[in-house]
Amino acid sequence: MPMKLTEDAVMTALSNVLDPELNISIVDLGLVYSTKITDTQGVYIEMTLTTLGCPLFNVIEGDIRRNVGALGVDDDKIEIELTFDPPWSMERMSESAKAMLGI
């Protein structure tokens, strides 16, 4: 029997996705604003980036799709929406991420 898909499971999967420049998870960096399980057992992720036009988003997106896909979610059912409202700030970071960066 397949595992029940939950938002907690999605957040755990996303915590394994590292920012390629900082080597800190996108969850600890505060880049993930929300997740939702859709009616079709897909996943909707609303997130931001540390900078507008980040050239490494394709790397992050690939890691998101791999990690969420490992939960049994088909790639075409993973929707990632980038938003810059509100803009990301260091206040969104977890205490452990701040400690890793010496903030």
**Amino acid present at 29:** L
The DSSP element (H or E) to which 36 belongs, if any, is strand 32-37
The pLDDT score that the predictor gives to residue 41 is 86
Contact 64, 45 (CB under 8 A): yes
Under 8 Å CB-to-CB from 74, ≥6 apart: which residues? 42
The pLDDT score that the predictor gives to residue 1 is 38
Q: pLDDT digit string (tens) for 42-92? A: 999 999 998 888 888 999 999 999 999 999 999 999 999 999 999 999 999
Contact 17, 67 (CB under 8 A): yes
Give the global pTM: 0.91
The pLDDT score that the predictor gives to residue 3 is 64
Q: pLDDT digit string (tens) for 28-43? A: 999 999 999 998 889 9
Cα 79 from Cα 83, distance rounded (Å)? 13
Q: What angle do CA 8, 23, 77 make, to 5 degrees?
A: 40
Q: Is 93 left (phi over 0), alpha (psi -120 to 50) or beta?
A: beta
The three-class DSSP label of residue 75 is helix
pLDDT of 2 > 80? The answer is no
What is the band of 97 on the pLDDT scale with cuts at 50, 70, 90? very high
